């Protein structure tokens, strides 16, 4: 039975672009209608497959940024890498009404639901905020007041994905705190963090290990590895630290 359910989920489905949202100058969200979508958990991803006119195919993984809903829609948020094969097409060329193929949901490890509880410590670099946003959107939609903190590393304030939505979620007063660190450029008068994530920063942001937070870290591989090993050194249980690596570089 489990095998049948898995096969049903992992068939390639046709998705239609129904809306496009520019999140930052390099990042665009795609709202997709996916007939037959079986639903997903916050933190899961899909594979997207593109086929050229000559039959050449290529595929990439993208996190689902939207929480579970009943309308067979989901949102992907794509950062455009200018020398990339797939992301410039998804983040710049697609229009409403265009179609693409996807399969999923994929992944059962990097997932959070209100029933798991907290505290919830989320650590993101760049587009690593996408699956974490699904968790924060779910937390809000479910009315959860589990204490949550997001430490989010971006190159500059303009590159902070979901910036205004994060401010609204914090203002909602449900126990979410967001700490931004801007690694390359800071606006005049910036008094916040302005360096790459390190042990000292994690120590000041994380709850104590005794409070046993669930920790989700997502972003470029070096950021994920640095943060995960620093948190283990600080005494957090490895089993409560979940990681997702997006790619080799970043900053
Ligand atoms: C589970 C999972 C979920 C992901 N979710 C998202 C998401 O929600 N949003 C998103 O934008 N991306 C996400 N990614 C990354 C995505 O799959 C692609 O790797 C990314 O879009 C680059 O693809 P590309 O074809 O444009 O670049 P490629 O042609 O594959 O690579 C171009 C160049 O960029 C470098 N590169 C590749 N990937 C990255 C990266 N992530 N960061 C920096 N440099 C890189 C390569 O080394 C190469 O030099 C996810 C990856 C994984 C594994």
| CATH number for the domain whose boundaries are 2-106 | 2.40.30.10
| pLDDT tens profile 54-103 | 999 999 999 999 998 888 999 999 999 999 999 999 999 999 999 999 99
Nearest to 144 by CA among 153, 132, 135: 135
Q: Are strands 241-247 and 214-220 parallel, antiparallel or unpaired?
A: parallel
| pLDDT tens profile 161-199 | 999 999 999 999 999 999 999 999 999 999 999 999 999
Centre of ligand 1 to C-alpha 247, Å, is 5
Centre of ligand 1 to C-alpha 246, Å, is 6
Cα-based distances in Å from 53 to 50, 56, 57:
10, 7, 9
Kindly report, as residue ranges, where domains of CATH 2.40.30.10 are found in the chain: 2-106
User: Strand, coil or helix: what is 155?
Assistant: coil
Ligand 1 atom 28 nearest Cα: 84
Cα–Cα distance measured from residue 65 to residue 197, given in angstroms and rounded to the nearest whole number:
23
Task: Tell me the CATH class for 114-247.
Answer: alpha beta
Predicted confidence (pLDDT) at residue 251 exceeds the cutoff of 60: no
Do 58 and 28 contact (CB within 8 A), yes or no? no
Cα–Cα distance measured from residue 81 to residue 88, given in angstroms and rounded to the nearest whole number:
6
Q: How confident is the model at residue 249 (pLDDT cuts 50, 70, 90)?
A: very low
- Residues 6+ away with beta carbon under 8 Å from 208: none
Kindly report, as residue ranges, where domains of CATH 3.40.50.80 are found in the chain: 114-247
Cα–Cα distance measured from residue 24 to residue 130, given in angstroms and rounded to the nearest whole number:
13
Averaged pLDDT of the chain: 94
- Residues 6+ away with beta carbon under 8 Å from 81: 87, 88
Nearest to 231 by CA among 122, 144, 105, 135: 122
Give the pTM.
0.94
User: Strand, coil or helix: what is 226?
Assistant: helix
Compute the C-alpha angle 171/172/178, nearest 5°: 50
Which pLDDT score is estimated for 248?
61
- Which protein residues touch ligand 1 with a CB less than 6 Å away? 45, 60-63, 77-79, 81, 83-87, 127, 130, 220, 244, 246-250
Segment 138-144 mean pLDDT:
97
Ligand 1 atom 13 nearest Cα: 62
């Amino acid at each position: 039975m489990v095998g049948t359910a898995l096969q049903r989920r992992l068939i390639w489905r046709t998705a239609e672009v129904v809306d496009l949202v520019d999140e930052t100058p390099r990042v665009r969200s795609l709202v997709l209608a996916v007939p037959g979508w079986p639903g997903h958990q916050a933190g899961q991803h899909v594979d997207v497959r593109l086929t050229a006119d000559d039959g050449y195919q290529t595929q990439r993984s993208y996190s689902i940024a939207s929480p579970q809903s009943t309308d067979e829609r989901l949102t992907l948020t794509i950062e455009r890498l200018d020398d990339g094969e797939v992301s410039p097409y998804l983040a710049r060329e697609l229009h409403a009404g265009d179609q693409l193929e996807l399969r999923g949901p994929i992944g059962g490890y990097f997932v959070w639901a209100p029933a798991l509880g907290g505290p919830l410590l989320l650590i993101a670099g760049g587009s690593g905020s996408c699956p974490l946003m699904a968790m924060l959107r779910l937390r809000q939609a479910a009315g959860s007041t589990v204490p949550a903190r997001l430490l989010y590393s971006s190159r500059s304030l303009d590159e902070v994905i979901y910036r205004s939505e994060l401010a609204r979620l914090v203002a909602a007063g449900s126990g979410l705190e967001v700490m931004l660190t801007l690694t390359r450029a800071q606006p005049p008068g910036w008094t916040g963090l302005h360096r790459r994530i390190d042990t000292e920063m994690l120590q000041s942001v994380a709850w104590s290990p005794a409070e046993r937070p669930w920790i989700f870290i997502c972003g470029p591989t070096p950021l994920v590895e640095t943060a995960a090993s620093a948190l283990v050194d600080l005494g957090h249980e490895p089993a409560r630290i979940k990681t997702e690596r997006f790619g080799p570089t970043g900053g």
